[in-house]
Amino acid sequence: MHALDPSDPKQLRRALGHFATGVTLVTCTDADGQRVGLTVSSFQAVSLDPPLVLWSLREASPSLPAFRQAGHFAVNVLSEAQLGLSRRFASPVPDKFGEGDWHEGEGGAPVLAGCAAVFECETVSSQAAGDHVLFIGRVCRLADDPVAPLLYQGGHYRRLGDPL
């Protein structure tokens, strides 16, 4: 094992890249009724009772004001088949919602059909944390589907492998 400098963002990112994560689209509706969404891998459970989840967003993100004012958000856990949507929502495409089968969820947050899971949440809090903002949501509605989830590890999209 090699010692790294945690104050070096490149070294920190390289080490963090060893941790495989799921890939999500986090969505909301802004004050003008416009749908907002982005690709997020920083999603996790916080509590089962009450049901709480957490995700984070860069402080510099142009989507931050929409999520700060939105009372609800949806975490759409992508399936392998939705790799293209992950790339679309991670890029500056003008109409990110132009692809996919979308419907309005809890509090107006856009919900994507065909996901491995969807968590529709009421925003409980947002908290500055370094160069990111942490959002905690209470899960109001959820659904899942027995499809293979999309994974991200080491700077690459991945498939779920065989159980060990």
For the chain, domain boundaries: 22-152
pLDDT given for residue 81 in this prediction: 98
pLDDT band for position 110 (cuts 50, 70, 90): very high
How far is C-alpha 106 from the geometric centre of its chain's CA atoms? 16
Rounded to the nearest 10°, the torsion over CA 5, 2, 43, 39 is 80
Q: What is the pLDDT of residue 67?
A: 98
Looking at domain 22-152, which of 2.30.110.10, 2.170.130.10, 3.40.720.10, 1.10.1660.10 is its CATH number?
Answer: 2.30.110.10
Q: DSSP letter at 94?
A: S
pLDDT at 2 over 90: no
Residue 157 has pLDDT above 90, yes or no: yes
What integer best gives the mean pLDDT of the chain? Answer: 96
